[in-house]
């Protein structure tokens, strides 16, 4: 398609989404809940068709030489389709933030002001590979009363179309407007550009994918972006840490899953901590490559030499940079200089040191005596997440339904004119 | 200055602001309160110097042919300096949102999650003419624990420097870091561009000024913007409106002050409303130019012919477009097509019609039986405002201290590793 045609396509989708969003905003929680259950059922019913469409995507991806990890993300089987349907049901069970009272004030002149949560309006989701995002993100938007415009990767287009067809059919059968969740059916990249510059038509864009995608979205967007950039997370072992806890948390924070954004990438160890060797031994024994300077290598010979870039590298792999520091202040200075404001943890038995760390470290999530791998909407009790925001405004950290809402001021009077 | 020098200047100011913001974030409410009182006292002490500096700005502005309204905004006398100092004291008395608990969740695994309010960090304020913004905006940022970088108009540079010198001296004497509130002392426009593109260094920019300024900021900004665009507000008189209340509210909503963003610009009257003539007569008698079609002119002969543009025009003057509509649904369709999502009001005695209007009209502020002129942070009980946001994310409507904060997740554990 020509770029102008693509822009018209997105503008038309956004206009229909706006109309749908007005109806969605007026739906109550029960009605949205029922529509999502109908959508989950429709996805189950369409399982064979979805798996068949996915097989075509897989064949094309294999032919074009897509890598093994990407192929695995793309793959759907009956079990993954069932998990996708179950995920939609989980979203349907979430507490609906729309209509919630944030505050109520009665003014001396008798005006009653309330601030109430409402949907944002039209949300664009730009994502890669995993076709289940089509259902997850669509369900989260719909449950929070927002219309969604979904733009998945071209490698998953057949899978996305099949999932979207089932989802949309179910939502409509359940009483939602037909344009509640729309899928951009063209695969040219101009569609992403058109979404990112649709100020006023699309209210927020959420990119879900690798750094390349997120960086492109942040660079080009004129629409507000709810984005997750880096997870360059630190675990700091204080002099007052319990040695066994320090070892277990460092191991879990790095090695439980190395590819998630909550994984620890740099371990800071207080020079006053008496027992650093077992921590490094446990990590090395678990197959983690450790990088540090001569001082760290003196503790554990398997540590390899670090370079300056290590402190600024999100490995997303079984690699950990290790640094000795002089207490919490030094650790916090390192985090301020090199962290990505995502998740940082302290291990200590000293409550006052811990509280200082929690107060002063400027990250979306700060933890005391817990693994950074808990940085996750599900673990936070949000039930699901549209993403983890590393921005500072609107929503920080794991974002679920509440982050997909805004508020309005409702003023009720009895004829008050302003003096 | 060369653009590169200006960029370095802004980068250096932002780096110092970031350092200051860490200290500000750790200050408690009492300490911030005391520092603001010291700043107010310093502004009072410097009154003569501020008025003298302003006289130089005024002379230069008159020589360059600045218009009367702009000259009046620029002018400072002892009374206005006293009002500025009193404004800083009013901000010092505001409830401090920093540290407030938004929610607390205990997870089944024993992790205790809290979400607490923290300052945003470094706020840029770009403003025109009124030198009192230097103190107002600086005080609001400092009281909410943010470092501020202020960039006023070149026509007010001497006044702004004098006010800033007093403010900064007072804040520092009161215990705040010297870089808590900085003023960009160069007047070249490249400084605005450098602020707008300082992603990561400046966390949010608030433009305060005319549409030209706000539009430039929104077009160029890579930094998040908290902006007020148009106030194309409607008052809708429903068939069930009390006639006297309808007349009084329409008159107040338009004519109390015509130049503020909360002024009504379009009056929608239900064809089922029995008594439209007294409303239009009262407005015309008060000197308001009324614009409408033949049907409206048949009600009141002083109404002049409207054109299509009238429905999309924010007059900020004693001009009102008037349209007859078929009930609340028709009124809401007009507002959806032409409004700016700022403030819209319904006048009716019918509670169910009113609640439908309040729920369905998609504006930052919706009102029932009240004048749209109440759209103001002071009238909302916020004590002050940094601006009124017409954006949908982060903060909507009048924004005071809470809108200058964000939050962090604080997780307290006892050694939990993620399974």
Picking from B28, B115, B413, B414 by the largest number of A CB atoms within 10 A of its own CB, the best residue to mutate is B413
Give the number of domains in chain A.
Answer: 2
| Side-by-side strand order, sheet with B233-237 | A101-106, A112-119, A405-416, B365-370, B343-347, B233-237, B264-270, B319-325, B289-292, B304-305
- In B46-111, which ranges are E strands? 101-106
How many contacts (CB atoms, under 8 Å) link A and B?
Answer: 189
- Rounded to 10 degrees, what is the CA torsion of B235, B241, B243, B249? -30
Residue B409 host element (H or E):
strand B405-416
Give the nearest chain B residue to A364 (CA atoms).
B408
Per DSSP, what are the bridge partners of residue B112?
A: B106, B412
Tokens of B19: 């350092």
B27 and B107, same domain (yes or no): yes
Q: State the helix-helix crossing angle for B276-285 and B243-255, rounded to 10 degrees.
A: 30
- Selecting from B224, B366, B397 the residue whose C-beta is nearest the C-beta of A393 gives B224
A416 lies in some domain: no
Residues B222 and B205: their CA atoms lie apart, in Å, by 10
User: DSSP letter at A138?
Assistant: H
Per DSSP, what are the bridge partners of residue B116?
A: B101, B408
Series of mean pLDDT values for 10-residue runs along chain A (419 residues): 85 96 94 97 98 97 87 93 95 94 95 97 92 94 97 94 97 96 90 93 91 87 85 96 98 95 96 97 98 97 96 95 98 95 97 96 96 93 84 90 95 97
- Which residues on chain B are in Cβ contact (under 8 Å) with A204? 392-393
The verdict on pTM exceeding 0.95 is no
How far does B161 lie from chain A, in Å, by closest CA? 30
CATH number, position B12: 3.40.605.10
Over the stretch B139-163, which tens digit does the pLDDT of each residue have? 999 999 999 999 999 999 999 999 9
A182 and A319, same domain (yes or no): no
A365 and A257, same domain (yes or no): yes
- Which residues on chain A are in Cβ contact (under 8 Å) with B359? 26
A37 and A71, same domain (yes or no): yes
The CA–CA distances, whole Å, from A317 to A165, A260, A267, B142 equal 36, 9, 14, 42
Residue B154 burial by Cβ neighbours in a 10 Å radius (0-12, 13-18, 19+): middle
Per DSSP, what are the bridge partners of residue B233?
A: B264
Question: B126, B116, B92: which is closest to B383 by C-alpha?
Answer: B92
So what's the pLDDT on residue B259?
A: 87
Over the stretch A71-109, which tens digit does the pLDDT of each residue have? 888 999 999 999 999 999 999 999 999 999 999 999 999
- Which residues on chain A are in Cβ contact (under 8 Å) with B358? 410, 412
What residue ranges of chain B have pLDDT lower than 70?
1-2
Place of tokens 């999932």: A163
Asked whether the beta carbons of residue A107 and residue B381 sit closer than 8 angstroms, the reply is yes
Tokens of A348: 């200590």
B161 lies in some domain: yes
A120 and A9, same domain (yes or no): yes
- Selecting from B365, B366, B411 the residue whose C-beta is nearest the C-beta of A370 gives B411
How far does A45 lie from chain B, in Å, by closest CA? 33
ipTM of the complex model = 0.92
Tokens of A265: 């990438």
How far does A373 lie from chain B, in Å, by closest CA? 6
Give the nearest chain B residue to A218 (CA atoms).
B222
Judged by DSSP in three states, A397 sits in strand
A123 and A23, same domain (yes or no): yes
Residues B215 and A44: their CA atoms lie apart, in Å, by 49
Question: Is residue A276 a contact partner of residue A306, using CB atoms and an 8 Å limit?
Answer: no
- Which residues on chain A are in Cβ contact (under 8 Å) with B391? 224
Asked whether the beta carbons of residue B393 and residue A394 sit closer than 8 angstroms, the reply is yes
Give the nearest chain A residue to B381 (CA atoms).
A107
Residues A95 and A391: their CA atoms lie apart, in Å, by 24
Asked whether the beta carbons of residue A415 and residue B242 sit closer than 8 angstroms, the reply is yes
Residues A12 and A202: their CA atoms lie apart, in Å, by 11
Residues A130 and A120: their CA atoms lie apart, in Å, by 25
Residues B71 and B115: their CA atoms lie apart, in Å, by 46
So what's the pLDDT on residue B299?
A: 97
DSSP string computed for A284-307: HHTT-EEEE-HHHHTT-TTPEEP-
Asked whether the beta carbons of residue A413 and residue B107 sit closer than 8 angstroms, the reply is no
How far does B242 lie from chain A, in Å, by closest CA? 9
So what's the pLDDT on residue B90?
A: 93
The separation between CA A383 and the C-alpha centre of its own chain, rounded to angstroms, equals 13
- Selecting from A358, A369, A392 the residue whose C-beta is nearest the C-beta of B406 gives A392
B219 lies in some domain: yes
Give the nearest chain B residue to A379 (CA atoms).
B107
Residues A285 and A283: their CA atoms lie apart, in Å, by 5
Give the nearest chain B residue to A332 (CA atoms).
B22
Residues B132 and B398: their CA atoms lie apart, in Å, by 19
How far does A221 lie from chain B, in Å, by closest CA? 9
So what's the pLDDT on residue A18?
A: 95
The separation between CA B259 and the C-alpha centre of its own chain, rounded to angstroms, equals 14
Question: Is residue B155 a contact partner of residue B57, using CB atoms and an 8 Å limit?
Answer: yes
Residue A383 CB neighbour total at 10 angstroms = 16
B380 lies in some domain: no
Q: State the helix-helix crossing angle for B29-45 and B78-92, rounded to 10 degrees.
A: 170
Residue A359 burial by Cβ neighbours in a 10 Å radius (0-12, 13-18, 19+): middle
Residues A58 and A74: their CA atoms lie apart, in Å, by 7
B393 lies in some domain: no
CATH number, position B278: 3.40.309.10
How far does B222 lie from chain A, in Å, by closest CA? 8
B222 and B367, same domain (yes or no): no
- Selecting from B111, B364, B369 the residue whose C-beta is nearest the C-beta of A414 gives B369
**Which domain covers residue A39, as residue numbers?**
3-226+398-411
Asked whether the beta carbons of residue A412 and residue B256 sit closer than 8 angstroms, the reply is no
How far does A379 lie from chain B, in Å, by closest CA? 8
How far does B238 lie from chain A, in Å, by closest CA? 14
B182 and B275, same domain (yes or no): no
- Selecting from B256, B394, B409 the residue whose C-beta is nearest the C-beta of A365 gives B409
A156 lies in some domain: yes
Picking from A231, A393, A400, A406 by the largest number of B CB atoms within 10 A of its own CB, the best residue to mutate is A393
So what's the pLDDT on residue A1?
A: 60
Asked whether the beta carbons of residue A415 and residue B111 sit closer than 8 angstroms, the reply is no
Give the nearest chain B residue to A253 (CA atoms).
B417
- Selecting from A354, A398, A418 the residue whose C-beta is nearest the C-beta of B252 gives A418
- Which residues on chain B are in Cβ contact (under 8 Å) with A354? 412
Asked whether the beta carbons of residue B374 and residue A121 sit closer than 8 angstroms, the reply is no
B258 and B353, same domain (yes or no): yes
A241 and A173, same domain (yes or no): no
A391 lies in some domain: no
The separation between CA B116 and the C-alpha centre of its own chain, rounded to angstroms, equals 25
B367 and B406, same domain (yes or no): no
Residues A108 and B357: their CA atoms lie apart, in Å, by 25
Picking from B244, B405, B411 by the largest number of A CB atoms within 10 A of its own CB, the best residue to mutate is B411
- Calculate what percentage of chain B has a pLDDT beyond 70: 100
Residue B61 host element (H or E):
helix B47-63
A221 and A237, same domain (yes or no): no
The separation between CA A25 and the C-alpha centre of its own chain, rounded to angstroms, equals 23
How far does A367 lie from chain B, in Å, by closest CA? 5
The CA–CA distances, whole Å, from B124 to B2, B11, B404 equal 21, 12, 11
A385 lies in some domain: no
So what's the pLDDT on residue A230?
A: 82
């Amino acid at each position: 398609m020509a770029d102008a045609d693509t822009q018209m396509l997105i503008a038309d989708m956004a206009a229909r989404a706006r109309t749908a969003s007005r109806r969605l905003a007026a739906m109550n929680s029960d009605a949205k809940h029922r529509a999502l259950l109908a959508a989950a059922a429709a996805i189950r019913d369409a399982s064979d068709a979805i798996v068949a469409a996915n097989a075509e995507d897989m064949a094309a991806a294999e032919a074009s030489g897509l890598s093994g990890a990407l192929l695995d993300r793309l793959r759907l089987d009956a079990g993954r389709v069932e998990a996708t349907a179950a995920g939609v049901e989980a979203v349907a069970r979430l507490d609906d933030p729309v209509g919630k009272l944030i505050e109520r004030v009665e003014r001396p002149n008798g005006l009653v002001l309330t601030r109430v949560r409402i949907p944002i309006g039209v949300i664009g989701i730009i994502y890669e590979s995993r076709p289940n995002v089509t259902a997850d993100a669509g369900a989260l938007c719909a449950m929070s009363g927002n219309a969604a415009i979904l733009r998945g990767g071209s490698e998953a287009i057949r899978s996305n179309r099949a999932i979207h067809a089932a989802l949309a059919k179910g939502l409509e059968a359940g009483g939602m407007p037909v344009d509640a969740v729309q899928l951009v059916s063209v695969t040219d990249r101009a569609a992403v550009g058109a979404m990112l510059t649709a100020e006023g038509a699309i209210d927020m864009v959420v990119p879900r994918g690798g750094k390349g995608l997120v960086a492109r979205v942040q660079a080009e967007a004129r629409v507000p972006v709810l984005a997750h950039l880096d997870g360059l997370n630190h675990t700091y072992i204080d002099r007052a840490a319990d040695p066994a806890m320090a070892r277990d948390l460092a191991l879990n924070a790095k090695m439980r899953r190395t590819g998630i954004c909550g994984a620890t990438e740099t371990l800071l160890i207080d020079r006053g901590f008496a027992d650093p060797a077992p921590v490094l031994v446990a990590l090395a024994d678990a197959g983690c490559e450790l990088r540090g300077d001569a001082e760290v290598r003196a503790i554990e010979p398997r540590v390899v030499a670090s370079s300056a870039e290590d402190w600024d590298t999100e490995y997303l792999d079984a690699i950990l940079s290790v640094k000795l520091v002089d207490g919490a202040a030094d650790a916090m200075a390192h985090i301020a200089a090199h962290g990505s404001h995502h998740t940082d943890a302290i291990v200590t038995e000293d409550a006052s040191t811990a509280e200082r760390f929690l107060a002063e470290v400027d990250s979306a999530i700060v933890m005391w005596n817990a693994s950074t791998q808990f940085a996750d909407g599900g673990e936070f009790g949000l039930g699901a997440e549209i993403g983890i925001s590393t921005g500072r405004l609107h929503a920080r950290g794991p974002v679920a339904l509440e982050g997909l809402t805004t508020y309005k001021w409702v003023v009720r009077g009895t004829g008050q004119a302003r003096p």
